[in-house]
A = this chain, B = another copy of it.
């Protein structure tokens, strides 16, 4: 029997993007990552960064956040289970949050109104301690 090919293929770009995001720990946009990678000498294309982030998100390996007028921001989270975020508006730092009560409320609200195929978005935004004091 012949081996199945590996998807997606292991390219150094994919690895570089993933580890840059992992190192950052914060939410970062495709452009942020692109600039950081270039400044470190990695010669990746912006298109590739977009594509890779999208594919990682499709596979559930990273989380994405869509804020009003801003670029989509991605983060490599510590847990693969469903959770939400407390995000610093200024630096992108994030805490992972879980709440059985909120999940229950969402499910119950939808059900009692006859809605099906339910999903939800729950995000909290603020200024982290560091940014509130000096940083900004």
| Residues of A that sit less than 8 Å from B by CB | 66-68, 86, 88-89, 95, 97, 99, 101-102, 105-106, 109-110, 113-129, 132
Contact = CB atoms under 8 A, between A and B. Distances in A.
A115 B88 contact: yes
A109 B132 contact: no
B97 A109 contact: yes
A75 to B, nearest CB: 16
A121 B97 CA distance: 14
A18 B31 CA distance: 37
Given A68-B66, A88-B115, A115-B86, A126 B105 contact: no
B114 A128 contact: yes
Contacts of A121: 121-123, 125
A-B pairs, 9 with minimum CB distance: A115-B126, A114-B129, A118-B126, A120-B124, A117-B127, A122-B122, A119-B125, A110-B126, A116-B127
